[in-house]
Structure 1
């Protein structure tokens, strides 16, 4: 099948490359000339393990193309995907749908014959109705169906998630559109992947409900971690004890400094706003947002307390990891964006290392001394903070680390190390929820 993918951001590029790997002919469209130029040179603008090889192979085999002018690709397409950004709108917290609606207008003027228009972007309930209305207004004669097909990709594992998903959700009651979507995802039938067909509005809500539930799960275990510190319990054992219950499950029960990233922060806020607009407030999600925001801001005080200090004037803090999670260069709503400035507000000088996120972090964090490696970030620091659990931080040479630090203090906000081991090596060690 022929696919046009509007948007070459994280979702669009991964989805386009994976559809091409399924055997479809995919054209990825973007209005950013520099991004298209880089992609045509074989340069991937985001860090996602395995994506560079996947793109290169499908370009080489003639199934994946990149262009600024998508007119012909949209005209020829069996399915046109809208995979543009839906950031939080300034001022009111709603999702900004201007890029989605602009894409709909562009598509309307170009489609030829029956075309499935698919919203892959994360959009509030009712967005598909508006996209349909826009296309009908611009092209009353157009033959098309608007479908919701939310993505459930984890950064750092996106290719695996696309090719071996738990489920594929498709929101449409149009039989022709269902047939097109079944054909697009037919390679997944080998893995017996469930394809869940729903109404369009239901599909849109499924995406937000899934992210909100996972955000609540993270926030729940973080609050349990705070309680563990007070009563002398171990949150990791609590998480294991409840996670073995199949009704609960073990995933997303890792205590830490709070969730961040491209999805959970904006999607929880957008769902809260939608619920308020419809007079059905989601109080659990509202509280989740509030608790998570407060948690990230409180981490600097936790670090100072571990150092037995009220302020950090004249102190140097080494930070390992700045991205919101490992295996990505994504800095969107990363806890570091709250924690580092809070440390600086307490008077600290910050020196930091991140394997992939330093370039983006340099645009977002001021007066940070970016280092070339983990040991360089530790050298001369009064304390070392593990903020993102990159694999290379899991097996540091503790004896070397102790020699490099001005004071052997480690604050592990991801519970990478065992307290007894750190104490045995002579560190003052603090972690999350292991009282």
Structure 2
């Protein structure tokens, strides 16, 4: 079986590695440096299992920037192109997905196309109708940053969406689900084949529930901090109830990263003509939490201004969303930075994976000692033991030392 995967980010590269365990896979990407890194047997993204898999030589995987080369003789074309949220239209920008479909069909009319990019509810069915192309499926991904290959090898479930009333499409959906299951290391993975619109809804509702949990424990923490309570004790007591559990319960500066911010906003946009209050509250709760955190930091800043008569330098410890990730996109600490910037607070950013000289106009350093020595307050979304010697300077809401 020959598979082409369009897009070598977290989703595309991990799916390519999964399928390349048993089939010939070509990864297609417009960024030459990514292609070179993959062909050299390394991962262009931070994921230890991907690095190990690519360097092992056990995968039948190559990469190219030439779409015709990648798509021409493929049996399956998996699309993992980016779909960023467009705040003007309140919908995902699906132009990259459509560009891949156009390029693929220009050289290959027979391959089954599977969209793995996150899209609005109803998008795949509309695309099939618009193009008159019945051979397009949707399969959502459920991956964590830094754990993308692991989550493909050990999936919580496999979901494939098709036109459930079309027997040929249903057969193709079953076949693709079997390909994913074949690459997984776990047996008897729960598999659901459903309508493509339902599958799109599964993705958005799943991520919105995770955002809800993050927001809930953040608001618990905001209450505890405001009222002088021990937030850790309260959270531990709440989470010992097995119906609640202890996952996604560590307070943070807000939910962020590749998926949760845009997926919650997209789901809210899909509710345009449907009564709701909870989904909108989740989106608003994230904004309120960032305001609270920024206000707390500003309290420290102003205390130094009044007591010492000078403007303090605020340090930002890491731009990444999670420990073990190299993703800056929509990380919650950037929301804090923007709010501090409105108050013209000078900042120094410590981010060893960023090679630019400045970020949002703020100086960036790779030297942790420089951050510790120069900064009066250090803002950290996630605690790290390397900050222990300057703990009195650190502002964080991380209670459990994990994501």
Structure-2-length-normalised TM-score: 0.88
Deviation at residue 237 of structure 1 after TM alignment = 2.6
After TM superposition, the structure 1 stretch with the greater mean CA deviation from structure 2, 12-21 or 289-298, is 289-298
Are positions 1:169 and 2:159 aligned together?
Answer: yes
Q: Does the CA-based 8 Å contact 1:300-1:343 persist in structure 2? A: yes
CA distance in 1, matches of 2:85, 2:170: 34
> Does the CA contact (< 8 Å) of 1:51 and 1:159 recur in 2?
yes
Aligned residue number for residue 148 of structure 1: 138
Q: Provide the residue aligned with 1:235 in structure 2.
A: 231
By how many angstroms is 1:155 displaced?
0.1
**CA RMSD after TM alignment:** 2.5
Query: Partner of 1:269: helix, strand, or coil?
Result: helix
2:297 is aligned with 1:303: yes
* Residues 45 and 106 (structure 1), Cα distance of their counterparts in 2 relative to 1, 3 Å cut: same
Equivalent-residue separation in structure 1 for 2:3 and 2:247 (angstroms): 34
Unaligned 5+ residue runs, structure 1? 138-143, 403-407, 418-435
Alpha-carbon distance change, 230 to 134 in structure 1, aligned in 2, over 3 angstroms: same
Match of 2:319 among 319, 322, 347: 322
- Indicate conservation of the 8 Å contact 1:5/1:26, yes or no: yes
Structure-2 change in CA distance of 1:135 and 1:80 (3 Å): farther
SS in 1 for 2:103: helix
Note the C-alpha offset of 1:306.
3.9
2:277 to 274, 283, 295: 283
* CA spacing shift, 1:92–1:135, aligned 2, 3 Å: closer
Inter-partner Cα distance in structure 2 for 1:341 and 1:46: 26
1:319–1:353: 8 Å Cα contact kept in structure 2? yes
Q: How much has 1:72 moved relative to structure 2?
A: 4.6
The within-5 A match list for 1:35-434 is 35-42=34-41, 44-57=43-56, 60-61=57-58, 63-113=60-110, 115-136=111-132, 145-172=135-162, 173=164, 174-187=169-182, 188=184, 190-276=186-272, 279-306=273-300, 309=303, 314-356=311-353, 358-359=354-355, 364-373=359-368, 375-389=369-383, 393-394=384-385, 396-398=387-389, 401=390, 408-415=392-399
Deviation of 1:16 after TM superposition, in Å, equals 0.8
Find the counterpart in structure 2 of residue 5 from structure 1.
Answer: 5
5+ residue gaps in structure 2?
none
Once the two structures are TM-superposed, the CA of residue 167 in structure 1 deviates from its matched residue by: 0.9
Moved segments of 4+, more than 6 Å: none
TM-fit CA distance, 1:413 = 2.8
* TM-score normalized with structure 1 length: 0.82
Q: Distance in 1 between the 2:203 and 2:397 partners?
A: 29
Query: 1:76 aligns to what SS in structure 2?
Result: coil
8 Å CA contact retained: 1:337, 1:364: no
* 1:69 Cα deviation from its structure 2 partner: 2.0
Q: Larger deviation: 45-54 or 323-332? A: 45-54
Contact preservation (8 Å) 2:315, 2:378: yes
**What SS does structure 1 have at the residue aligned with 2:178?**
helix
Is residue 48–residue 146 contact of structure 2 (8 Å, CA) maintained in 1?
Answer: yes
Query: Partners of 1:261 and 1:311 in 2: how far apart?
Result: 33
Q: How many residues align?
A: 392
SS at match of 2:62: strand
